Structure 1
Amino acid sequence: MQLLSSNKDTSFFVNELNGVYVQTIRQNGYKQDPFAKEFGINIDDKLASVEARVLPTPWLKYHDAGKEKKYHPQLGQWNMINKKVINGSTVNHWACINFSCNVQENAARCFCQQLSQMCQVSGMEFNCEPVIPIYYARPDQAKKSINYVYNAAASKT
């Protein structure tokens, strides 16, 4: 069995992963898909072999006004604490949907306040208040809820 290591801490068995891909392709029946045939698309269940290598993680450069001006991410993750973006964007209009029945209204409001504060501290122009109050919805109604919140927020701007 071939072993692929993307970095020192992460490794997985390529043959097992390949088997999952091939099984998914076969289960989805792409060879019989009428839309794929209509557009002349052929999806082969044999994976292509390519020469590849994992590139080293780049250093991230931040604005000189922050406490940390350069940062080297570890394991593909980092946070924005003590950092400022160089060219922060402006967010004038935003909204929040809470899909969890376990998150109290106060906790959701606190999250939104902390989000806006973190964005401002990180160098963004970020409006403190959402366009509409926090919307509460069930996870199985995500698409419908997102459409509703989008339309409600758009009518306020």
Structure 2
Amino acid sequence: MSKRNTEKRIKAVEMHKQGFSRRHIAETLGVSPDSVKTWIAMYKNGQEDLLEENTKVRLYSQELKLKAVSAHLHDGRTLHDVTASFAISDPSVLKRWCREYRAAGIVSSSVRGRPRKHLDNPEEIIKELEMQVAVLKKALELQRRG
């Protein structure tokens, strides 16, 4: 989250405490009313840390994702309520999990990066290693040139 966004979140909570409407806060800060609603819910649930600047990507356990999806889809709780009570950074994250759950019956894991290849036979392993050697040779050659 950028410093500017953090400042907007804090300002939104301050304006809410002063009695301004969510719509007025959203228009003043140039953000969506849904964002303001989420930020206020986070604050009310004691999740001030979500209002602070955080450059780390949040990773959520599979268990938390399924509980949050279930709370929204099966228990009928709102996106904003579930987002705030489960300390999810944004309702769009929960929306994505719900979409995945509806489509496949599961929610993707938080494991990042490209999945490892599972090479079964020795010929595939040799071919993969030869390709890696060729790439490294080419990189070394380019490095020596310039």
Q: Into which bin does the TM-score normalised by the smaller protein fall?
A: under 0.3
Instruction: Give the structure with the higher percent strand.
Output: 1
Give the structure-1-normalised TM-score.
Answer: 0.23
Give the structure-2-normalised TM-score.
Answer: 0.24
